[in-house]
Amino acid sequence: MKVLVTGGMGYIGSHTCVQMIEAGLEPVILDNLCNSKEAVLERINQLTGKTPVFYQGDIRDREILDQIFSEQSIDSVIHFAGLKAVGESVEKPLEYYDNNVHGTLMLVDAMKSAGVNSLVFSSSATVYGDPAEVPINENTPTGNVTNPYGRSKYMVEECLRDIQYAAPEMSITLLRYFNPVGAHPSGTMGEDPQGIPNNLMPFIAQVAVGRREFLSVFGNDYPTPDGTGVRDYIHVMDLADGHIAALNAVGKKDGLHIFNLGTGKGSSVLEMVDAFSDACGHDIAYKLCPRRPGDIAECWADTSKATKELNWEAKFDVKAMAADTWRWQSANPKGY
């Protein structure tokens, strides 16, 4: 099966390409390299012995989309390409709606013209906003989002819902990720954020390797066991396997398919700091700071639907997430 992977050079996309090749699938990558590096191709080759076909371009460029669909016999699309920083989205909402919403509509229109009816979309648990209760299942209400990034994901989901209803022959899968962390166990691939990391684990890793002085922990007065925010962290390798499971289970079944991808367990910020201290062998410097507006106390997934319908469940624990992140960061202190 030949699969177009938009944003395939990015953190989650690149790990998914590795797992796809190992599973006998053939990824074709489209990426504009705005938040990734071409060196990723070489790392994929090191791990798999194969280098995916790579097109450098943007999902909003209809010409390159049509070129890919005419040159490659694409069976399905996994759509990762998107801007994903919450803070940046507040400052640059136009860019987020243009890239994430408009870009997805351009992609789907090109798919329809090419007769490609299978799409797996990289969505996010942010579509649930501040949930009334946890764990969160796929029927938890969506749309009460607090920032343009989350709103763009919610908008895309609603667009895809309407598109699938109007074109019932399409198979559209929405994968709602919780908090992706970790790296390839080899240490050759991992998360390499541009500038100041927006997410917890790469920030901890940069403190551990000496690139940053300390971690800011925003809020220690939440109604949680240690007062810090609790999230469902999922290893990127488990997440990658979730996409392959979705392709295999529902990628050829018409309809709208929705799944949470997480571990079903919550871990606090300080628990993640402790796990990383164990992995790297020294303490992680941190400072307690006031809560950030819009942050919620706790959020974790009910993953029973994915387990039942996709025959998938997360295998890696927090200890492995920290160990693999440290192996990547210590071997690649400045990223790719």
Integer Cα distance of 63 and 316 in angstroms: 41
Q: Any idea of the CA torsion for 160, 161, 166, 168, to the nearest 10 degrees?
A: 100
Half-sphere exposure of 49 (CA within 13 A, CB side): 2
d(Cα 283, Cα 185) in Å, to the nearest integer?
A: 22
Write the DSSP assignment of 134-180 as a string of letters: SSB-TTS------SHHHHHHHHHHHHHHHHHHHSTT-EEEEEEE-EE
Per-state percent for the chain, helix, strand, coil, to nearest 5: 40, 20, 40
> Cα(140)–Cα(144) distance, rounded to whole angstroms?
11
For 263, phi then psi, to 5°, come to: -100, -15
250 touches 118 (CB < 8 A): no
Element (H, E) at 104: helix 103-114
d(CA 32, CA 144): 31
Distance CA 253, CA 23 (A): 20
**One of 11, 128, 149, 154 is an active-site residue; which one?**
149
* Residues forming beta bridges with residue 77, ordered by sequence position: 4, 119
Question: What distance lies between CA 330 and its chain's CA centroid?
Answer: 22
The answer to whether 149 is a known catalytic residue is yes
28 strand-pairing partners: 4, 53
Which residues are catalytic, by number?
149
